[in-house]
Chain A
Amino acid sequence: MKYRIRHRTRYEYQDVVSQCYSMTHLLPRNTFYQRCNRASISINPLPATGNDRTDYFGNHTYHFAVQYPHRMLEVVAESEVEILAQRQSLALDFGATCAEVRTLLYRLEPEENLRAREFLLDSPKISRSDALADYARDSFADDRPFFSCVSELTARIYSEFSFDPRSTEVSTPLEEVLKLRAGVCQDFAHLAIGCLRSLGYPARYVSGYLETVPPPGQKKLEGADASHAWFSAYSPTEGWADFDPTNNLMALEQHITTAWGRDYSDVTPLKGSVLGGGAGHELDVAVDVERIEA
């Protein structure tokens, strides 16, 4: 499966910005099951400097600085990504049990264990808690295959939480999401990760895109797609597997990974610092995910 993705972000400031320093996580990384064949980013006004880099987690980042006074900043990231055949459904009822996952994790081999243990700890936006553990506990049992438990948790979040963009904000804490039983994809990913970590299982945050298919007979609207988020859980014997609690799916051929980290704060699509700009700005984001090859 091949996709072409266009992600445009546009800021309009109330006042002139004299300098802007920014860092983006907008270009898809390579993964075990995905290859980014082409990636480019264009910025208007033209930046004075721009550097590509691979971050701590192996994500593709791009840093730029605009030194020209401007009221509007536009960042367009375009890429072509190929989802490889390995990306296939896991047989959930086999593999390590929950108890095995918790024990095997502390072996020094495979080396991925050490990396995975990092995703067991509290992170800026996700703290482990009794409340999260209590919510998730019913879905996990020591002798059950781990991934089937994760799948059950995913399904529960999907059915017990309602998708409602008005219910939460970026700053809404996880406890609040748990109480409200509502949120958006980012909240659900954070929630599932918090649940897993609170029970002692490693989980990381994945940001990316989901191919959307218009209703039959309708043409897909330009810019109608959006960036998406889900989570990935780790088993020392099977490795990482991606689950999408917003859609009750495993992330497969229609999920395109941009970046992963401990939570949203590690992979913010665009952040930075501006000098000037006044009290506020208008923000407009448009995403297109286009399948170019089956």
Chain B
Amino acid sequence: MGAQDPEAVPAPGKAAPAAFHEAYEAGGGVREHWQYLLDSLKELGPDELSLRRHALERILRDDGATYNDYSAGLTARAWGLDPIPFLLPSDEWSVVESGVRERAELMDMLLRDLYGPRNLLKHGIIPPELVLSNDAFLRECQGLALPGEQQLIQYATDIVRTPRGELRVMSDRAQTPSGTGYALENRMAMSRVFPSLFRDSHVHRLSLYFNNLRLKLNELNPNGDVARVAVLTPGAYNETYFEHVFLANYLGYPLVQGRDLTVRDGYVWLKTLDGLSRIDVILRRVDDSYCDPVELYAQSQLGVPGLLETVRSGNVAVVNPLGSGVLENRGLARYLPAAAQYFLGRELRLKSAQTWWCGDDADLDYTLRNLDTLIVKTTSRGPDSQIVDGAALDAAGREALAEKIRRNPLRYIAQERLTPSLSPVWDSGAGPDLPLVLRSFAVAGESSYVVMPGGLTRVGTKPGAFEISNRLGSLSKDTWILASEPEKRTEVQPAEDTVAPGTGWAGMQLPSRVVDNLFWVGRYTERSEASLRLLRTVLSCLKGEHSIDPASRPLLLRAVTHLTGTYPGFLGKNADPSAPMPELHSVVLDAKRVGSITWSLHALLRAVDQVKDFMSADTQRILNDLRDEMALLPDLLRRDYSSAPEEALDRLVSILLALAGLSQESMVRGQGWHFLDMGRRIERSVLTISLLRSLLVPRVQGEAESLLLETVLISAEALMTYRRRYQRNVNIDDALDLLLLEPANPRSLMFQLERLDEHLRSLPDSPDGPRLPREQRLRLEAASQLALADLAELARTGEGEYLRGKLDQLLARIQRLVTEIAGALTDKYFEHTGGHQPLGLSGRREESQ
């Protein structure tokens, strides 16, 4: 096999041809379809455009649109959207559309052949070594078949326009193509910020694609009836997690992780509090080899054990089918022209960038002789994927690369360097025009593929960039396909019945993982808030704004240690109550210290990340505020401490209150809400008790006691209530009554226990029969102990007694009971099995002689 058409590649040393410009003709005139947009933007003027750009940023931020980057240490990067869209007129679009559709059809034939008869290999159309040496070819997936003709359901392809104006494909995505959600988010943001421009431009709508996806997923149901579909995500640390959440919500399907699912009796089930609920179709964002630890990657915790065999039995459909990563082998591009001739009897309308596969002798030779002009890539897109720009290497670097290729030629391809077309970009002003790549999406439809009229456009970070990817921080653009006249609404509307009753979070069938996380959202919110309140009070006492007896100071500091659990803290041997600031700073700021405020807030954010799809849309705004405020905290606290550090804490308290308010006001009163609020009630009970045990159990005399009581009441947000209610100086009996028994005080212990009662009664029926379940018995015991207590008696101390021993005993008992309620809930409702582990022969092997 010889190298293909050598003319298509610029000869070494020749200057790269000037890039095609999307908006301007070679002579400098504006292309017709850009005229209206450019005029309108000019009319808006730079100041207005800047404002709109900020508006876009705000919308994306409020929606939580991020692209997470592993390499940057788990930081979520804000999704960047340029206010200038990429425009394509109808006639040009129809070329793209038919080209993408044809490629999708070809890819589908490839997929069916490679896991079926493998005629392409038998007839020498594709060298077997290219496919068989690639990790993405999964022998376990031989013969898998989805219902219906098409096997490839979702397909995406990255397209650029060359200097000659031709379209070329840079890469194909056929496993779990990402980007549709970002495209949709871009569209929603743009149409809000530029409503009239958008309306007057007659832009094709994207919903066609998603409606078809819904229809197709429903059609793939192997079990009859209305399909129960779930979106399978690897979890919150995936780069495109935002999109998983966004799509699941948009499509109305539950977002699940591998451990939310289980295989029983040959079917796949979602584990919910109400028991198992069958799943018929899985729209996955987990890579092939991670989907089933039984047959594929044994160490994977992201998959579902037994999934592959369930697929084989035809009891669940996985989209795209397992094994479809084989189509992402970068060497296939070299043989697509031949495969198109073989299957379709014609050339592809939308061609790939010219590709050489080093497993072919002639291609290897060409590659090694032209390393300085080529882009070298691994055939595999897996973890060992590499992309090297030959032109960027010096002679030694090229020789090292050549040696690597020679040692393992099957693993490498070379691709011609393409010069993508340019587009205007509004990046805080008129910057240089930047290269652009369009990711186009197709979904299997009735007879062929439906191509999203639009797509995800990304621009390079600098002129001349050869790789354009989110990982490199590319900015995105909305893609406007301009209809010549306003679009008629002819698109397929999903039938009412395509969403199964009881699926989607609306059905309230929550996986226990979600419930578990909501419970902890409640607990961490409360823990953070209570710690912040106490710290705030302590700081203001130390500054003398709130007076306290100097002898009570060590008590107060020790309460900080008790409440946050940051032992030894102020209980340690070396604690110095006269210079408490370093320790207090650490209790606020040290993220590594279990129990510190920052630690609790991080734990809260992590738990929220796990249940993002369940939280109200406004939650994101509050979380953004929380993150911003946390970032400011170290600076504010370290400043001169006369500058009111507690104000920084005030703002955090307000944000947490907003979060709590939102859950009260916006959450449906389903299981999720019950568990969230139970978490909060349990935590508040435990912390209130902790506060009372550290501050009110020790006996303090006279004036000092009423000052300390006031401090406790402030910290428990109850001083105002106290004054209104009792209208006299604070005394221990009234304070205990208010903090422990008063049912109308939302911060009293009794109030928490009563709310807990309501929640516990709402939980799914337990198999305990007529007897009270354990958690209810524990609660009843706690509430009875409290109700029967004679507070005045408990508060009394005899001569020479320095502790209210009986009060302490009661509080300790109730604290233990409440902790046990949490334990009982955990045992009963949450997953507490570790992950799956491989069953192997553990070192055992064939060792006979």
Contact = CB atoms under 8 A, between A and B. Distances in A.
Interface of A: 11, 18-23, 48-49, 51, 53, 55-57, 63, 65, 67, 108, 111, 114, 117-118, 120-122, 163, 165, 169-170, 184-186, 207, 210, 212, 225-229, 246-247, 264, 266, 268-277, 280-281, 283, 285
Interface stretch (B123-131, B532-540, B756-764, B788-796): B123-131
Contacts of A272: 294, 305, 838-839
Contact of A275 (B132, B313, B836): B836
A185 B848 contact: yes
B842 interface: yes
A281 B139 CA distance: 30
A114 B839 contact: no
A266 B294 contact: no
A51 to B, nearest CB: 7
A22 B140 CA distance: 14
Interface string B828-849: 0000011011111111111111
A21 B306 contact: yes
Interface in B258-314: 262-266, 293-295, 298, 305-306, 309, 312-313
Given A56-B142, A186-B847, 4 more contacts: A170-B844, A185-B848, A229-B846, A277-B837
B842 A184 contact: no
A19 B269 CA distance: 14
A53 B143 CA distance: 11
Contacts of B309: 21, 23, 51, 63, 65
Specify the main secondary structure of chain B where it touches its partner: loop
Nearest to A207: B846
B839 A163 contact: no
Contact of B849 (A19, A120, A246, A285): A246
A121 B129 contact: yes
Contacts of A266: 139
7 contacts: A11-B839, A21-B306, A51-B313, A65-B309, A114-B121, A272-B294, A281-B842
Contacts of B312: 51, 53
B139 A271 contact: no
B846 A108 contact: no
B803 to A, nearest CB: 44
B410 interface: yes
Nearest to B140: A56
Contacts of B842: 280-281, 283
Contacts of A120: 129
A285 to B, nearest CB: 7
A122 B837 CA distance: 27
Interface string B114-146: 000000011110001100110000011010000
A111 B118 CA distance: 12
Contact of A65 (B142, B263, B293): B263
Contacts of B263: 21, 65
B122 A111 contact: yes
B839 A227 contact: no
Nearest to B141: A56
Interface residues of B, number: 42
Q: Which of B121, B142, B263, B841 has the most CB of A within 10 A?
A: B841
A228 B837 contact: no
Contacts of B266: 48-49, 65
Contacts of A11: 839
A65 B122 CA distance: 36
Contacts of B133: 121-122
Given A225-B848, A228-B846, A271 B305 contact: no
Q: Which of B121, B122, B140, B309 has the most CB of A within 10 A?
A: B309
A170 B840 CA distance: 11
Contacts of A18: 833
Given A53-B312, A114-B121, A186-B846, A273 B839 contact: yes
Contacts of A184: 845-849
A114 B294 CA distance: 29
Nearest to B118: A114
A114 B847 contact: no
A273 B848 contact: no
Contacts of B834: 276
Contact of B836 (A51, A212, A274): A274
Nearest to A228: B848
Given A21-B305, A22-B839, A65-B306, A117 B132 contact: yes
Contacts of B132: 117-118, 121
A111 B123 CA distance: 10
Given A118-B128, A121-B129, A273-B837, A227 B846 contact: yes
Interface string B305-335: 1100100110000000000000000000000
Nearest to B842: A283
Nearest to A170: B845
Given A121-B133, A247-B849, A283-B842, A19 B410 contact: no
Contact of B122 (A22, A108, A122, A273): A108
Contact of A274 (B122, B123, B837, B843): B837
A10 to B, nearest CB: 12
